[in-house]
Amino acid sequence: MNAPRLAPSLPLAPADPRDNTAVARAPTVLFVDQSGQLGGAEFTLLPLAGLCAPRSEVVLLSDGPFRTRLEALGVRVRVIGDVRVSRIRRQSLPFGWLRALPAIVRQACALAREAKRFDVLFLNTQKALVLGALGKPLHRRPVIWHLHDIMSPEHFGTAQRVVVKWLVRHAVDHVVANSHASAQSLAALTGRASDTPPVVYNGIDTHAFDTPVAEHPDDVAALRRRLGLPEHAWLAGLFGRLAPWKGQHIAIDALARLPDVQLVLVGAALFGEDAYAQQLREQARRLGVADRVHFAGFRDDMPAWMKAMDVVLHTSTDAEPFGRVIVEGMAAGRPVIATAAGGVTEIVRHRQNGWLVEPGDDVALADAIRTLHASPELAQRLARQALVDVRRDFSLDGFLRRMTQAIADTAK
Ligand code: UDP
Ligand code: GLC
């Protein structure tokens, strides 16, 4: 299960991205993101758009808390939403796309008008790619796409995959992928190894996770009291939006095998998965573990919530493109158990800086939790190594440097 360690392919740009003179020389950028919600792709864009704020603008295709977070960083934001476009889902059939065609064309034209005022068009999500790249004959600006997804049939319908394949060939100048797994999935889609994009791993503000809480048992108890969590239970935390492929149901199944453990689910149904959120509660009741599952909802303070846990879980059943929550759990100094698929195997090395289990296997997950519960020394050793690795490989500064370099290269 040990995957070879893959180094990020883009070299570090020599300039410090926070250096004002470097920012002044940098190209102007129009960033586009389809979501007003705070998902991983949006958390990734946040510091980059913040850094580029003096010479950039963000267009969102729907409104939400992401806009407020961007504006708090001084970023100019414009929302150009259209429900007919936002209703299209990852697995939508060609018919869904056709019905929305007039709205797609209108939005692509509106984006093209905006894009003309900037040196580079930076597309951060799938719908942003479609609208921004479709308008290329109108705006004629260099286009960079930040690929956050694995372009496999498990994640996307045929219509989306066909459209992406065509656009990448004809209207995108530069792609940066969030992991080698995502990069390779794009090359598999286009059928050309030469299309494999360079990789820039997500960067985490590790300083935000440095606060020395929860190292002493009294600190843990005080922290948990503040968060409304049981003070003396052994807590497994699962962080992320509630969605079937994020596998919260697998964690609840595993919990039913672990009478001495409690599960904290941090996150909300961000993209209409309310029925799944309801199913999770019913599943917990049916299995008789409802009193040991805590639904915390969406939380802002990840470092505190992660440090309050004894172990951080990641349970995605489909290959995770990257998995920010894994790196955050490592930065919080907690042992992490994650599913061995996609970008995760580029982050976690089994038994060295974390623990890997097969996706969808609740028995293996329960075994892994039991192992770390029974052996605090092992759990601590993994967490210590994870902290070293995350500071070295997933720093925010490294991410910003590589991304600003990629933007500058696209502008040339
Ligand atoms: N997150 C958060 N509050 C929550 C749940 C999640 O701030 O209640 C953040 C989390 O810290 C992470 C992001 O949401 O940075 C999720 O990113 P990830 O790459 O793990 O998954 P995605 O949702 O993008 O698939
Ligand atoms: C996407 C992926 C997630 C990744 C994030 C940031 O939302 O699902 O795995 O961590 O983008 O790149």
Q: What is the DSSP string of 353-372?
A: TBEEE-TT-HHHHHHHHHHH
Q: Could you tell me the distance, in angstroms and rounded to a whole number, from the CA of residue 380 to the centre of ligand 1? A: 24
User: What ranges do the domains of the chain cover?
Assistant: 20-203+396-411, 206-393
**pLDDT reading at 141 higher than 70:** yes
Alpha helices in 116-210 (DSSP H): 126-134, 136-139, 158-170, 180-190
Specify the DSSP element, H or E, that contains 250.
helix 248-255
Q: List ligand 1's pocket residues with C-beta within 6 A.
A: 39-41, 43, 239-241, 266-267, 298-299, 302, 322-325, 328
Rounded Cα–Cα distance for residues 79 and 32 (Å): 10
For residue 22, name the pLDDT band (cuts at 50, 70, 90): low
Is 262 in a helix, a strand, or coil? strand
Q: Does residue 5 carry a pLDDT above 60?
A: no
Whether 373 has a pLDDT exceeding 90, the answer reads yes
By residue count, the chain amounts to: 412
Same fold, 20-203+396-411 and 206-393: yes
Mean pLDDT, the chain, rounded, equals: 91
pLDDT at residue 2, rounded to an integer: 34
Q: Is the CB of 41 under 6 A from ligand 2?
A: yes
**Nearest residue (CA) to ligand 1, atom 1:** 240
CATH topology (fold) of 206-393: Rossmann fold (3.40.50)
CB 146 within 8 A of CB 152: no
Of the listed ranges 21-30, 76-85, 312-321, 344-353, the one predicted with least confidence: 21-30
Which ligand lies nearest to the CA atom of residue 342 in the structure? 2
Share of the chain above pLDDT 90, in %: 83
This prediction has a pTM of 0.92
Q: Which residue has the higher pLDDT, 98 or 312?
A: 312
Quote the Cα angle for 290-293-299, to 5°.
Answer: 140
Contact 111, 401 (CB under 8 A): no
- The alpha carbon of 65 and the centre of ligand 2 are apart by a number of angstroms equal to 18
The confidence score (pLDDT) of residue 7 equals: 33
CATH (one of 3.30.950.10, 3.40.50.11010, 3.90.550.10, 3.30.1340.10) for 20-203+396-411:
3.40.50.11010
d(CA 138, CA 191): 28
